[in-house]
Amino acid sequence: MTMTQLIYHSQPFGFDSGVLAGILSQARRNNTRNGLTGALIARGDLYLQLLEGPTDAVTACFAKIVRDNRHLDVKCVSDRIITERLFPAWTMRDDQVPSWLWNANEVAAGAVEKAAPGIVLEAFQRLAKTSG
């Protein structure tokens, strides 16, 4: 069965643990209903998310995220057809590592925008191999 995998990044607006908990709770509820899985890497200066599942559901979810006022400057990194999920058991895996692939200065200098899609995907592949 073919599916879509989409990766995007955005800048959080009003980020704190309560906002993040709300995002994760809503995502897990909606993703269960819509057949989506994925992961969210979140910190105060960056949301980096991978969504996977039926193409229509991924497209609709991403459209909602673009309109969500908790996200600023939403940009798609990768949008591709897949046959296997990277996070099959996770309606929304979360990772809040304070210093992830880029530090805050690198993010501010545009490292996320400059990163090749394969580099970003590799980070999610590493996350998928960790227990959580």
Question: Could you give the number of structural domains in the chain?
Answer: 1
- Alpha-carbon span 86 to 129, nearest angstrom: 9
The CATH number for 45's domain is 3.30.70.100
Q: What is the pLDDT of residue 99?
A: 47
Query: What are the tens digits of pLDDT across the range 9-36?
Result: 999 988 888 888 888 899 999 999 999 9
Mean pLDDT along residues 88-102: 78
User: What amino acid occupies position 12?
Assistant: P
Poorest-pLDDT segment among 47-56, 68-77, 89-98: 89-98
Q: What residues make up the domain containing 52?
A: 3-129
Q: Which two tokens stand for residue 67?
A: 């309109």
